[in-house]
Structure 1
Amino acid sequence: MTAEEQLYRRAIRLTSIVLAAIAVVGGAVAWALAGPAGAVGALVGALVAALGAVPTQVAMLVGHRRPPQVMAGIVAFSWLGKMLVIVVALLVLQGVESFHREAFAATAVTGIVASLVVDVATLRKARIPYADPGT
């Protein structure tokens, strides 16, 4: 396994763990503050955060050995696909009365920021050379 694969797998694993913890804590807090509608909003927010973070990491894992233009296409289409799903989900949720928007927003923003922190921390700890010493 290459250093890049280790990096991407570690980022996916840590992001999944952090987002699961945010879903549990956010759901519990939202349940206590806003009842079942708050818990549902928080869980959907954590799901949206996961949908925003994990597909890009998986696309990087899949595409890192391919030529740069192919990798860019994989990442771009994964981004486009997840944005389309998120927009459709938000449009559907807009009409739901019992959906707690504040719990959703708080959990989604917390999850997205946490996933960015995981990405930066993982990249900073990686030992990936910029140049091939054999060339």
Structure 2
Amino acid sequence: MSAESALYRRAIRNSTIALVALAAVGAAVGAAIDGVSGAVAAVVGAAVAALGAISTQVAMLVGHTRSPQALAGIVLFAFLGKMLILIVALLVLQGIDGFNRPIFAVVTITCLVATLAIEIHALRHARVPYVDPGT
């Protein structure tokens, strides 16, 4: 396994752990604030954040060994796919009465910031060489 693969796998693992933990905490706080509606909003918010963060990390894991054009295509496809799913999900959630939007927003933003911090930490502590000594 290359250093880049290890980096992406570590980021995916740590992001998944953080998202599950934040979903549990968010659901508990959401339930305390607004009952079942708050808990559902928190879990949906964490799922939306997971869709955004982990799909990008998986796209990088899959594409980092390919040519730059293939990597760009994979990342673009992942981005367009998650944007389409996100738009459809938000349109569906807009029509649901009693859905707690503030809890949804707070949990989503918190999860996205947490996954971004995990990615930055993983990149800053990665031991990926800049040059290949064999070439």
TM bracket (short chain): over 0.9
Kindly provide the amino acid, as one letter, of the partner of residue 57 in structure 1.
Q
Which residue identity does 1:15 align to in structure 2? Answer: S
Equivalent position of 1:5 in the other structure: 5
Aligned to 1:66: 66
Alpha-carbon distance in 2 for matches of 1:59, 1:9:
11
* Structure 2 equivalent of residue 19 of structure 1: 19
In the alignment, which residue of structure 2 is the partner of 1:89? 89
Gapped runs of 5+ residues in structure 2?
none
Using structure 2 for the length normalisation, give the TM-score.
Answer: 0.99
Give the percent of matched residue pairs that are identical in Structure 1 and Structure 2.
60
- Give the CA deviation at 1:98: 1.8
Provide the rounded CA distance (Å) in 1 between the counterparts of 2:52 and 2:65.
23
Counterpart CA distance in 2 for 1:20 and 1:118 is: 14
Distance 1:33 1:92 in 2: 23
Structure 1 residue aligned with 2:50:
50
**How far does residue 133 in structure 1 lie from its aligned partner after superposition?**
1.2
User: Which of structure 1's runs of 4+ aligned residues deviate more than 6 A?
Assistant: none
Alignment partners' CA distance in 2, 1:36 and 1:102: 14
Partner of 2:133: 133
Paired AA for residue 89 in structure 1:
A
What SS does the corresponding residue of 2:128 show, helix, strand or coil? Answer: coil
**Partner Cα separation in structure 2 for residue 103 and residue 24 of structure 1:** 13
SS state at 1:99 partner: coil
The alignment's C-alpha RMSD in Å is 0.5
Letter of the 2:128 partner, please give it: I
Q: How does 1:91-130 map to 2 (within 5 A)?
A: 91-130=91-130
Counterpart of 2:31 in structure 1 is 31
Q: Determine the C-alpha separation between the residues in 1 that align with 2:76 and 2:18.
A: 25
Q: Report the number of matched residues.
A: 135
Post-superposition offset of 1:134:
1.7
Q: What amino acid maps onto 1:21 in structure 2?
A: A
TM-score by length of 1: 0.99
